[in-house]
Structure 1
Amino acid sequence: MARASSPPAVLLVDDEPHSLSAMRMALEDEFEILTAANADEAEAILKDEWVQVILCDQRMPGRTGVEFLADVRDRWPETVRIVITGYTDTSAMIAAINEAGIHQFLTKPWHPDQLVMATRNAARLFQLARENERLALEMRLLTSTAESRLEKRRKALREGMGFETVLRTPNSPINATIQQARQFASFDVPVLLVGEAGSGKAQIARAMHYGSLRSDKPFYELNLAGLPEDLAFVELLGAKRGVLTGGVARMGLLQKADRGTLYLSGVETASPALQLTLLRVLTEGAFTPVGGQETLGTNLRLICGAEGDLRARVADGAFRADLYFALAAGEIAVPPLRARRGDVAILAQAMLAELAVQHGKPVHGLEEPALEFLENYDWPGNLRELKNEITRMLIFAQETVLGADLISRHILQAPPSEDGADRSAEAALTADGTLKDRVELMEMRILRETLTRHRWNKSRAAAELGLSRVGLRAKLDRYGIADPSATVEEE
């Protein structure tokens, strides 16, 4: 009981005394602070103290921060690990995630508020992990009905961390979106999230709810895309007794989400009648259940998600102008995954870790060449397509570290480019140029994809392509195609 009531213990590791002093001053009001000048002193403290969070500098004499935290991960895995570094090299971050299970990177110079917020979130993550362990033990002893309730509690704990659930690098293009969403979250106004399907609009909407004054109230979401109008009305407005089969009444989401938040995706597909209903909810806070006569009130916050340009639909008469302008005061653009190329590695690693636990298949990460192929692809299906690809790789994986040979062929054939991949041979078929140039472009992609699938075994690749090893080597020299892993070793 004493531990539960005492402030969380935070270990600061830095070889520079003034840095330790600055961090202590920023954190000592909320946390019990322990300090160490190097990795050896830190390990001695960990043996005697119950540390929940470690903030460690990367550049230290002896062991680096990542090397030290890799040892911590093995011996004290429940401790949340944060690295403070003056560098933002993506490959170094990926290596740190694989080796030491880093929770977050803080870049120098850090702001005291940023340091306090990161430490609060880490301490909260530690508490959630402990709570999850307790819930897991309870679930083994309860009936199936009780297990369902506990799983909902665990899900609520995982989802209750707000904007910290949006994984991104320090310089990610989505940071501007997150900043806007944070600003709007604390103001009780409607919000319109605009972005491609699967770009993470629902995750941002949920984070806005948990970052608002309504965070202790329910959050509901409904996808209107492809939903028949009559079913959409029943889902939103509810229905009086006798309207539905079975003669039972049904409560709609507008009533369930009272004092909470309702997120409607695919709002651009809403019928004219449904648009009018939503406008009434926004302007009057009122609605009428299906089959009813009385008017009910609701005090909910409405967040809508849309694909494409709603202004164009307003101009075409397909979307109500008054509804659009009721939503547009809080319009936020969510970038597609192809615009967040630097985030792909972190997102892929996080998805893999989650899927590995879900499917009970132990894996430890992705190889560098695999991450390069994933970062090069333009992901037209955004986060959903990335998760599907990681799931597929996990299913076929035979090793604990996933290689590029597991990646789908259309991704492997994508040309390396800063502007993104085209996912197929379509560019070669439709682009300008001679027949010879266009055929060579397709040949180069096929060679690269085949060699990757065979883990750069030239004999197998040559056999599949019907070439001799000499012929294959000549083509590789001609197109400048080289084994990326060999290049890394030479460097």
Structure 2
Amino acid sequence: MAASIPVILLIDDEPHSLSAMKMALEDEFEILTAGSAEAALEALEENWVQAIFCDQRMPGRSGVDLLTEVRERWPETVRLIVTGYTDSQSMMAAINEAGIHQFLTKPWHPEQLLAAARNATQMFALARENERLSLEMRFLNATSQSRVEKRRQALREGMGFEAILRSPTSAMNDVVRAARHYASFDVPVLLTGDAGVGKQQLARAMHYGSLRSDKPFYEVNLAGLSDELAMIELFGAKRGVLPGGVARIGLAQKADRGTLYLAGIEAASPGLQLQILRLVREGSFTPVGGQETMTTTLRLIAGAASDVRILVGEGRFRADLYYALAVGEIAVPPLRARRGDVAMLAQSLLAEVAATHGKPVRGFSAAALEFLENYDWPGNLRELSNEVTRMLIFGEETTLGAELISRPILQAPPGDEGADRTAEDAMAGTGALKERVELFEMRILRETLTRHRWNKSRAAAELGLSRVGLRAKLDRYGVTHPAAQEEES
């Protein structure tokens, strides 16, 4: 039986836009069109739709409003927004309320639209297969469960670059674009960036975007490993070297014809650097305790949390190894340089941890997303993941509010330039004592009110102030409820 053609619904009140989108997609997909929200809902009730492309600005009802209802009634349908506007507030609302998978900006290119449609329908198919596997696992024994879990993991990993969440204006777009180019060429690549920025995820995406995608992907972090352990992990060991008299196969051999990701390459000792150089240049290595030379055809991707060129200049890293690894070099930006991405990442992390811990939750409040977006995240994705997990643990409602956020983040008030560091400047800088103390007082007021959900009586009691005294300080510093700021804008 032949597989059915995926069905895509296009929603736009402008007929020429519908016609252009249909022309770009109709060769590969069955296309339904709707010129209004009402027509779209009728089409969804009568057809099995895999993906929706919806214009954001339509008379009567916005795309986000419509797709929010679609999320409630047909949650498995993949939802995409087409818009000429990419302001962060509307994007956060779309992510939180409608669960938007991707934004497409106008004017779009036919190839861009086609690629988005392919990815969306593939995601729909993967979700359906994932659901089937979940049901299957209930009736399988432990051995079968292990096999099914490997298949599920392969399905998740097979999404490659599409698993790297980012907004249309994200600094990660250029990174992913460069990584896609390097992925299709069998050359070493060096990924640089702060700890926790997602270098490992990018390396994995490059593997699944390459001709080696059906071969294994292995990774190891050299940071913290002794020279001997790193050698054994990479190149293996002959019988008699390890306790118990057993031989050990190294990752260089396991990753043959596949990809090996070496994180923490800057931590490699001079001796290990020489062995890695041999592996990159010649594809050869010698197991620990052995004499024979073995060969491998692996592809090497390396990751470094510091600028390797500086280490080369200081004599702490071999220049020849740096140039061998950096045929392609990609700098992965930290979260503080990815304004607009944090809301998407937080929502995705929340879905993961909620599923892991079996706690139903819908998302974040708009105020919570604003605080998360405007924090610098020195710990990058790891710190964000920890914060989301903590909010889930303490949350008592399905929507997680700003009062659950940790104090250091609450004390960084929203602003166009990101987290407010004026209090730190006051501590380290100069100036009148009164002015420097007032900076701290302003931030403490905002943080305390947020934790108490802007209940001024409770906040005043905690701070040892009367309601009149609290109101006077709020007026003095211009501290207002976030909802009031939205009404003024």
Contact 2:423 2:436 survives alignment (8 Å): no
Residue aligning to 1:6: 4
Instruction: Give the match for residue 74 of structure 2.
Output: 76
Match of 1:37 among 31, 35, 38: 35
Q: Which moved more, 1:159-168 or 1:58-67?
A: 58-67
- Secondary structure of the residue aligned to 2:303 is strand
1:14 to partner: Cα distance? 2.0
In 1: Cα distance, 2:362 partner to 2:270 partner: 50
Letter in 1 for 2:371: F
Kept in 2, the 8 Å contact 1:414–1:424? The answer is: no
Q: Are the counterparts in 2 of residues 377 and 423 from structure 1 also a CA contact under 8 Å? A: no
**Any conservation in 2 of the 1:53–1:80 contact (CA below 8 Å)?**
yes
Worse-matched range after superposition: 409-418 or 216-225: 409-418
Q: Residue type of the partner of 1:48?
A: E
Which residue in 1 is equivalent to 2:207? 209
Match of 1:339 in 2: 337
Deviation at 1:149, TM superposition (A): 2.1
Q: Secondary structure at the match of 2:200?
A: helix
CA drift of 1:45 comes to 2.5
* Range 232-241 or range 55-64, more displaced: 55-64
Deviations 1:298-318 (A, max 9, x none): 101101110122111111111
In 2, Cα distance between the equivalents of 1:214 and 1:416?
44
Cα separation, partners in 2 of 1:388 and 1:27, compared to 1, 3 Å? same
User: How far apart are the structure 2 equivalents of 1:60 and 1:422?
Assistant: 37
In 1: Cα distance, 2:70 partner to 2:237 partner: 56
Question: How many Å apart are 1:47 and its aligned residue?
Answer: 2.5
Aligned to 2:196: 198
Aligned with residue 441 of structure 1, among 439, 442, 455: 439
Offset of residue 61 of structure 1: 3.4
CA distance in 1, matches of 2:372, 2:62: 29
Give the deviation of 1:123 after TM superposition: 0.5
Answer yes or no: is the 8 Å Cα contact 1:219–1:262 preserved in 2: yes
Offset from partner CA, 1:40-64 (integer Å, 9 cap, x none): 2223322332221111222233433
Partner of residue 21, structure 1: 19
| Closer/same/farther in 2, CA of residues 226 and 239 from structure 1, 3 Å limit | same
Q: Which amino acid aligns with 1:66?
A: V
CA distance, structure 2, for counterparts of residue 422 and residue 449 of structure 1: 13
- Equivalent pairs counted in the alignment come to 489
- The answer to whether structure 1 residue 177 and structure 2 residue 175 are counterparts is yes
Deviation at 1:425, TM superposition (A): 5.2
Relative to structure 1, is the Cα distance of residues 381 and 423 closer, same or farther in structure 2, using a 3 angstrom cutoff? farther
Whether the aligned pair in 1 keeps the contact of 2:261 and 2:301 (CA below 8 Å) is yes
Correspondence for 2:321: 323
Q: Report the alpha carbon displacement of residue 15 of structure 1 after superposing the two structures with TM.
A: 2.3
Give CA-to-partner distance per residue, 1:208-265, whole Å, 9 cap, x none.
Answer: 1111111111111111111111111111111112221222222111111111111111
Where does residue 159 of structure 1 map in the other structure? 157
RMSD: 1.6
Amino acid in the other structure paired with 2:43: I
* Aligned residue number for residue 120 of structure 2: 122
Q: Distance in 1 between matches of 2:41 and 2:392?
A: 35
Any conservation in 2 of the 1:476–1:482 contact (CA below 8 Å)? yes
Give the whole-Å Cα distance in 2 for the aligned partners of 1:46 and 1:461: 48
* Pairing 1:222–2:228 present: no
Q: Does the Cα contact within 8 Å between 1:411 and 1:423 map onto a contact in 2?
A: no
Q: SS of 1:305's equivalent?
A: strand
Distance 1:415 1:86, change over 3 A: closer
1:306 aligns with 2:332: no
Query: 1:440: how far off?
Result: 1.2
Q: Describe the SS at the equivalent of 2:340.
A: helix
- Measured in 1, the distance between the counterparts of 2:26 and 2:233 equals 49
Q: Distance in 2 between matches of 1:459 and 1:381?
A: 35
Matching residue's letter, 1:85: T
Please show how residues 232-271 of structure 1 align to structure 2 within 5 Å: 232-271=230-269
Measured after TM superposition, the shift of residue 418 of structure 1 is 4.3
Q: What's the offset of the Cα at 1:334?
A: 0.7
* Rounded Cα–Cα distance in structure 1 between residues aligned with 2:420 and 2:293: 52
TM-score normalised over the length of structure 2: 0.96
Out of 390, 399, 402, the position equivalent to 2:400 is 402
Which one is further off, 479-488 or 330-339? 479-488
Q: How far off its partner does 1:459 sit?
A: 1.2
**Letter paired with 2:79:** R
Aligned partners of 1:416, 1:11: CA distance in 2, in Å?
37
The Cα of 1:422 is off from its aligned counterpart by: 6.7
The Cα offsets for residues 353-394 of structure 1, whole Å up to 9 and x where unpaired, read as: 221111111111111111121122111101110111011111
- One-letter code aligned to 2:286: T
Alignment partners' CA distance in 2, 1:299 and 1:447: 60
The answer to whether the 8 A contact 2:203-2:261 is kept is yes
In the alignment, structure 1 residue 277 sits paired with structure 2 residue 275: yes
**CA distance 1:427–1:415, change in 2 (3 Å):** farther
Alignment of 1:55-134 (within 5 A): 55-134=53-132
Deviation at 1:271, TM superposition (A): 0.8
How far apart, CA to CA, are the structure 1 residues paired with 2:238 and 2:463?
A: 66
Name the residue aligned to 1:386.
384
Gapped regions of structure 1 (runs ≥ 5): none
Decide which of 339, 355, 363 is 1:357's aligned counterpart: 355
Deviates most, 71-80 or 359-368: 71-80
Report deviation, 1:67. 2.4
Aligned mates of 1:470, 1:66 — CA distance in 2: 41
Q: Distance in 2 between matches of 1:349 and 1:15?
A: 30
1:427 Cα deviation from its structure 2 partner: 2.9
Tell me the amino acid that sits aligned with residue 219 of structure 2. E
Identity %: 72
